[in-house]
Structure 1
Amino acid sequence: MPRYFIDFEDGGTRLNDDDGQDFADLQAARDAAIGALPDVGREVPPGDGRRLFMAHVRGEDGQTLCTIRLELDARCRPDPAAALPEKRER
């Protein structure tokens, strides 16, 4: 069975897979990478609410064979309740 390496990228941080895993084919390695991305994306995004996660599947020769992107966009409009004057307690 061929060995594939799945590297993950979160913004500017990249985690390289140095060990790899045996998969039946590239499709199976790609499916494993796709399955892992939602777990990585469960963290609340910082600041502006946007975050980009990527998985790169490499072959045994180190060449990137496919890249999977998952973009999280959780931006909100300004909260209208924050603009209301505070109620004073009597």
Structure 2
Amino acid sequence: MTSRTSSRLLRSLKARLYGTSATATSDSSAQLTKQAPRITKLDNGLTVASLENNSPISQIALVVNAGSRFESYSDAGVTHFLRNATNLTEHTPQKQKTK
């Protein structure tokens, strides 16, 4: 009886794990060529780097020179305030977190 149960279990596992044993093959002709990003500086000083990949899906990333390294003496503590205001820290006590 034990061997029958174990053989059923093994057959079940074999059937379930069959899909994971296949490795993905890549077609080298389907790979896109690398493009250099187009860098544009707007009138307000914002620098935009864009890349056309002919995809129906878009992605955006906002990169900011922020942190105590980029703060002057007059605006010291702004990074700390923004981090706490947006709840991006795990060490803020619950009563200080904004809602």
Same fold (TM over 0.5): no
- More RCO (CA 8 Å, sep 6+): 1
**TM-score scaled by length of structure 2:** 0.20
Q: Return the structure number with greater helix share.
A: 2
**TM-score scaled by length of structure 1:** 0.21
Larger gyration radius, structure 1 or structure 2: 2
Q: Return the structure number with greater strand share.
A: 1
